[in-house]
A and B are shown apart, each in its own frame.
Chain A
Amino acid sequence: MNVHIDARVGASHISYLRAKLPHAVLEENWQTPNQVTVTVKLNTLPEAVATLYYGREGWLSVVVCNDERPINDTFGLYYVLSMEGEDRCHVIVHAAVPSSNEEFPSVTPKVPACVWGEREIRDMYGLRPIGLPDERRLVLPDDWPDDLYPLRKDAMDYRLRPPPTSDKENYQFRNDAEGETTVVPLGPLHITSDEPGHFRLFVDGEDIIDADYRMFYVHRGMEKLAETRMGYNEVTFLADRVCGICGYAHSVAYASSIENALGIVVPQRAHAIRSIMLETERLHSHMLNLGLVCQFTGFDSGFMQFFRAREKAMTLAELLTGGRKTYGINLIGGVRRDVLAEQRSRTLALVAELRAEVQRLFEILLATPNFGPRVKGVGILDRKIARDYSPVGPVVRGSGYRRDTRVDHAFAGYGSVDVDINTGDGCDVQSRTMIRAAEIFDSLSLIEQLLDSTPTGPILNEDFVYKPYKFALGFTEAPRGEDIHWSMTGDNQKLYRWRCRASTYANWPVLRYMLRGNTVSDAPLIVGSIDPCYSCCDRMTVVDVRKETSRTIPYKEMERYCRERTDSPLK
């Protein structure tokens, strides 16, 4: 954001790239003063990304593909790097894949963090990453036709459900264990996860030697939906629904991506209100996770108590937004609802209550017998692995890296307040849990600071026009880490491309390394310690997973059966 700052930050990265790889850079294009897209030659793409990633302290945020054939007859590849050393900014490495040759050199061998992004491009656009070590499907189900690439502009209508091509589950799980191992399946439905994800643990006795997993069981087709049938402002509300916990972070990220692309100046008061809402969201999300950590370690009393206290955070959201969740508040250009004086004073009172309550519960949790040994030294995320895979949020901060979008790329109202970054060096479940606990207290004081210093003025800027084919990034620090959105406007009052990357998407690839060397009984705890959001990552394709039978039961029939409980349609 920060469109009012005129000096361009990050030019040094471009000159570094030009010096290291002469002749690679074709052009540079600034979206905002601290967001630059550099176009490089396709064959130098891996070198260029790796140079910025390891040479200039870049972290990979997201890999975006865009079907630009109707515009310039190429597929656009965008590797978004968050530069967190000197000159903090976003550098987007762009390369064009000609439509005549649908392949590109894979970056993954040089920068492992790209692996999920490139697998997804292969699924969704049918571009082949040459040299990608893992060529399995990531997003599409096993029974999806081989030559149908859902996000290509000419591929399919968003309502199409292609007939299943196979009735077998043929996903190959990877096991790098040397000796003989037993397979312990965890999920797709498991007692400690409320959303579907399938984990295969390869164990020797009770020790996990290796692990592999697949997600994306619950696609909702959001990106396709947004691109084909929603207006710009409707997508703000769709983005709320990306996640059931941290949806507001997505809607801020989306709205700011459009604001950045079109150069819309958002009023300062709207910025502050967005930050207040984001901190409210972080409060209840972290309290949920602390409760879940209690549950995973068998301390159900703590789980219930944290959930009871969390209700206060929901009341806080209700005070500020009128709903129990911080949804439906954003518009492009600002927010829809102001914080009035009375709400302000009641919020401050509630914040004080919450602080006392959480403090007490947290002390109880730390004093609970067996809790320490359960979380200490469990689920180690090695610092080297963390550097290679670019995880985000408390997961990477737990391994000692100071990564926090609120500080690295101050957005919304965070430029005007002091944000602490909490890090831990245990690299284990304990340090991640402690970071979340500390962040609850930080959020409480941030809400106080923001309420005390809210600038006056309008809350919405509607004085702008949409221009076609403008693109930019929007980003927020959600409770689980950085959310990043890449949006490109279209010429028909709809988005041309919307890439929404939830924070958990960046954290899944490292989970495998965190599981290795622990016991089966710690697996749910370790999975829980990345505070996973399964469905947030699953947002792309509408999939019919009913494989056994070709008969489709109409939704109305299921609904009727739910009400009446007679004549089961499944029999």
Chain B
Amino acid sequence: MPTLSQFLIALLQALVLLAVAPLFTGFLRAMRARMHTRCGPSVLQDYRDIVKLLKRQDMQPPAAGFAFRFMPIVMVATLLTITMALPVVTRATPIAGLGDMITVIYLFAVVRFFFSLSGLDSGSSFAGIGASRELTLGVLVEPTLVLSILVAALLAGTTDIGGIGAAISSGHVSSLGAVFLAGVAFAFACYFELGKLPYDMAEAEQELQEGPLTEYSGPSLALLKIAMGLKQLLILAFLFAVFLPFGSATDMGILSVVIGLVVFIIKIAVVALILGVVENSVARARFRLTPRHSWSGLGIASLGFVFYLVGL
């Protein structure tokens, strides 16, 4: 059982990340504008959008049922649970039992499942196509995700995310080549999961009118916007916690926590920069051709597994 202080820290972490998620997406938006040679909105624009949406009426298509209605809440709740499980500033997971890689991966799968379900439930054909694309992407990406993290877990001898991170950062793993390959494959899979161009097929604006988001409006859409931002932050935090834990706080001293926080912000900023360059210099991939892209990720992960087996 987690102690009260562990629980409070986890809760605090969840709420803070929830609060800064729009800042993160706002930052990406501002960067995108720069790449377009536009002035663009301020980084706080997403907060304004959310406030505006919260005041609007919540409309539903007549064909929609409870899955459509509850999806935003389920999505935010599940993501908050993940937030409480992931080590963000610290190296160890805030709540030990929850920070298991299998739990986290399947919690992400829950998010995906409900997201697609709502698309099918809305009765809109665009949302339906978006939903089926979302599920297809899941099938394509999850093997890479699981296999690459499995390599890391086998090397560290634990499935606890904090434990894997600790093992990797302290160098207590026997096969550096395997860790590197697994890390690359994992990062690749994470890029798919982020839903950024060229792989934003499920929410493709010009193709599918934002897929499952099509029919949402008002407060539900606001919740979804926050949730999408939070999901992106969490995927990055997941990547950092397992493969790039360097700099995070190993103890609960004020100094190391502050350093951990600063390092986390720097990592996010660097990744955001890379993301911005990549997503603004590509066209959207054809959905039909996506498996070709995702197979290479699985290839790298498998190679990592082979490296682990031979101990390179």
Q: Report the stretch among A243-251, A301-309, A495-503 that lies at the interface.
A: A301-309
Bound CA–CA A304/B37 (angstroms): 7
Q: Which of B129, B206, B283 contacts A370 (CB 8 A)?
A: B283
Q: Report the stretch among A4-12, A171-179, A180-188, A425-433 that lies at the interface.
A: A180-188
Q: Contact between A299 and B125 (Cβ–Cβ < 8 Å)?
A: no
Interface size class of B (residues with CB under 8 A): 20 to 34
* Interface assignment of B197: CB less than 8 Å from any CB of chain A: yes
Q: Which of A191, A300, A370, A374 contacts B280 (CB 8 A)?
A: A300
Q: Report the stretch among A220-228, A459-467, A518-526 that lies at the interface.
A: A518-526
* Interface assignment of A134: CB less than 8 Å from any CB of chain B: no
Q: Contact between A297 and B38 (Cβ–Cβ < 8 Å)?
A: no
Within the complex, what minimum Cβ distance (angstroms) separates A233 from chain B? Answer: 42
Q: Which of B32, B125, B198, B289 contacts A185 (CB 8 A)?
A: B125
Q: Please report which residues of chain B, range 2-58, place their CB below 8 angstroms from some CB of chain A when the two chains form the complex.
A: 32, 35-38
Within the complex, what minimum Cβ distance (angstroms) separates A496 from chain B? Answer: 45
Within the complex, what minimum Cβ distance (angstroms) separates B192 from chain A? Answer: 14
Bound CA–CA A497/B205 (angstroms): 44
Bound CA–CA A521/B282 (angstroms): 17
The 8 A CB mask of A284-323 against B (1 = contact, 0 = none) is: 0000000000111111111111001000000000000000
Bound CA–CA A294/B284 (angstroms): 10
Q: Which of B200, B281, B286 contacts A368 (CB 8 A)?
A: B281
Q: Contact between A298 and B281 (Cβ–Cβ < 8 Å)?
A: no
Taking A184-B125, A298-B197, A519-B288 as contacts, is the C-beta distance between A524 and B206 under 8 angstroms? Answer: yes
* Interface assignment of B209: CB less than 8 Å from any CB of chain A: yes
Q: Which of A182, A191, A298, A519 contacts B200 (CB 8 A)?
A: A298
Taking A182-B125, A206-B129 as contacts, is the C-beta distance between A299 and B283 under 8 angstroms? Answer: yes
A368: chain B residues within 8 A (beta carbon) = 281-283
Quick one: closest A residue to B278, CB to CB? A369
* Interface assignment of B204: CB less than 8 Å from any CB of chain A: yes
Bound CA–CA A303/B205 (angstroms): 15
The 8 A CB mask of B110-135 against A (1 = contact, 0 = none) is: 00000000000000011001000000
* Interface assignment of B285: CB less than 8 Å from any CB of chain A: yes
* Interface assignment of A416: CB less than 8 Å from any CB of chain B: no
B287: chain A residues within 8 A (beta carbon) = 206, 519, 521
Bound CA–CA A296/B286 (angstroms): 12
A524: chain B residues within 8 A (beta carbon) = 206-207
Question: Looking at B201, B205, B282, B288, which has the most chain A CB atoms within 10 Å of its CB?
Answer: B282
Question: Looking at A182, A192, A300, A369, which has the most chain B CB atoms within 10 Å of its CB?
Answer: A300
B280: chain A residues within 8 A (beta carbon) = 300-301
Bound CA–CA A513/B197 (angstroms): 30
Within the complex, what minimum Cβ distance (angstroms) separates B213 from chain A? Answer: 12
Q: Contact between A191 and B36 (Cβ–Cβ < 8 Å)?
A: no
Q: Contact between A520 and B208 (Cβ–Cβ < 8 Å)?
A: yes
Quick one: closest B residue to A302, CB to CB? B283
Q: Contact between B126 and A184 (Cβ–Cβ < 8 Å)?
A: yes
Within the complex, what minimum Cβ distance (angstroms) separates B36 from chain A? Answer: 4
Q: Contact between B283 and A371 (Cβ–Cβ < 8 Å)?
A: yes
Bound CA–CA A303/B37 (angstroms): 11
Quick one: closest A residue to B293, CB to CB? A370
Bound CA–CA A371/B282 (angstroms): 7
Bound CA–CA A371/B285 (angstroms): 8
B281: chain A residues within 8 A (beta carbon) = 301, 368-369
* Interface assignment of A18: CB less than 8 Å from any CB of chain B: no
Bound CA–CA A522/B285 (angstroms): 11
* Interface assignment of A346: CB less than 8 Å from any CB of chain B: no
A300: chain B residues within 8 A (beta carbon) = 32, 36, 280
Bound CA–CA A553/B207 (angstroms): 35
Q: Which of B200, B204, B283 contacts A369 (CB 8 A)?
A: B283
Q: Which of A191, A295, A296, A305 contacts B209 (CB 8 A)?
A: A191
Q: Contact between B206 and A374 (Cβ–Cβ < 8 Å)?
A: no
Q: Contact between A370 and B36 (Cβ–Cβ < 8 Å)?
A: no
Taking A192-B206, A524-B206 as contacts, is the C-beta distance between A294 and B283 under 8 angstroms? Answer: yes
Quick one: closest A residue to B36, CB to CB? A304
Bound CA–CA A519/B280 (angstroms): 24
B200: chain A residues within 8 A (beta carbon) = 298
A294: chain B residues within 8 A (beta carbon) = 283
Within the complex, what minimum Cβ distance (angstroms) separates A523 from chain B? Answer: 8
Within the complex, what minimum Cβ distance (angstroms) separates B32 from chain A? Answer: 8
Bound CA–CA A435/B37 (angstroms): 27
Q: Contact between A298 and B208 (Cβ–Cβ < 8 Å)?
A: no
Bound CA–CA A520/B201 (angstroms): 12
* Interface assignment of A20: CB less than 8 Å from any CB of chain B: no
The 8 A CB mask of A369-387 against B (1 = contact, 0 = none) is: 1110110000000000000
Bound CA–CA A183/B35 (angstroms): 38
Quick one: closest A residue to B214, CB to CB? A191
The 8 A CB mask of B222-250 against A (1 = contact, 0 = none) is: 00000000000000000000000000000
B32: chain A residues within 8 A (beta carbon) = 300
B125: chain A residues within 8 A (beta carbon) = 182-185, 203
Q: Contact between B37 and A297 (Cβ–Cβ < 8 Å)?
A: no
Quick one: closest B residue to A203, CB to CB? B125
The 8 A CB mask of B93-106 against A (1 = contact, 0 = none) is: 00000000000000
Q: Which of B37, B126, B283 contacts A308 (CB 8 A)?
A: B37
Within the complex, what minimum Cβ distance (angstroms) separates A334 from chain B? Answer: 41
Bound CA–CA A56/B70 (angstroms): 66
* Interface assignment of A190: CB less than 8 Å from any CB of chain B: yes
Within the complex, what minimum Cβ distance (angstroms) separates B125 from chain A? Answer: 4
Bound CA–CA A412/B107 (angstroms): 69
B37: chain A residues within 8 A (beta carbon) = 304-305, 308
Quick one: closest B residue to A303, CB to CB? B36
Quick one: closest A residue to B285, CB to CB? A370
Bound CA–CA A206/B35 (angstroms): 32
The 8 A CB mask of A85-102 against B (1 = contact, 0 = none) is: 000000000000000000
The 8 A CB mask of A107-123 against B (1 = contact, 0 = none) is: 00000000000000000
Q: Contact between B198 and A369 (Cβ–Cβ < 8 Å)?
A: yes
Bound CA–CA A521/B198 (angstroms): 14
Bound CA–CA A183/B204 (angstroms): 19
Q: Contact between B283 and A521 (Cβ–Cβ < 8 Å)?
A: no
Q: Contact between A299 and B284 (Cβ–Cβ < 8 Å)?
A: yes
Q: Which of B129, B283, B289 contacts A298 (CB 8 A)?
A: B283
Q: Contact between A297 and B284 (Cβ–Cβ < 8 Å)?
A: yes
Q: Which of A192, A203, A302, A370 contacts B198 (CB 8 A)?
A: A370
B204: chain A residues within 8 A (beta carbon) = 298, 521
Bound CA–CA A503/B36 (angstroms): 32
Within the complex, what minimum Cβ distance (angstroms) separates B55 from chain A? Answer: 15
A522: chain B residues within 8 A (beta carbon) = 207
Q: Which of A185, A298, A520 contacts B284 (CB 8 A)?
A: A298
Bound CA–CA A203/B132 (angstroms): 14
Bound CA–CA A521/B197 (angstroms): 15
A370: chain B residues within 8 A (beta carbon) = 198, 282-286
Q: Contact between B288 and A298 (Cβ–Cβ < 8 Å)?
A: no
Quick one: closest B residue to A301, CB to CB? B280
Taking A206-B129, A301-B35, A301-B281 as contacts, is the C-beta distance between A373 and B286 under 8 angstroms? Answer: yes
Q: Please report which residues of chain B, range 152-200, place their CB below 8 angstroms from some CB of chain A when the two chains form the complex.
A: 197-198, 200
B284: chain A residues within 8 A (beta carbon) = 297-299, 370, 374
19 residue pairs from A and B, CB less than 8 Å apart: A184-B126, A192-B206, A206-B287, A296-B206, A297-B284, A301-B280, A303-B36, A304-B36, A369-B283, A370-B286, A371-B283, A373-B285, A373-B286, A374-B283, A519-B287, A520-B207, A521-B129, A521-B287, A524-B206
- Add 14 more A-B contacts to A374-B285, A521-B208 (CB < 8 A): A191-B206, A191-B209, A206-B287, A295-B206, A298-B200, A298-B206, A298-B282, A300-B36, A301-B280, A304-B36, A368-B281, A369-B281, A370-B198, A370-B284
Q: Which 8 A-B pairs have the closest CB atoms?
A: A298-B284, A521-B207, A304-B36, A299-B283, A297-B283, A370-B283, A371-B283, A184-B125
On A, residues with C-beta under 8 Å from B are 182-185, 190-192, 203, 206, 294-305, 308, 368-371, 373-374, 519-522, 524
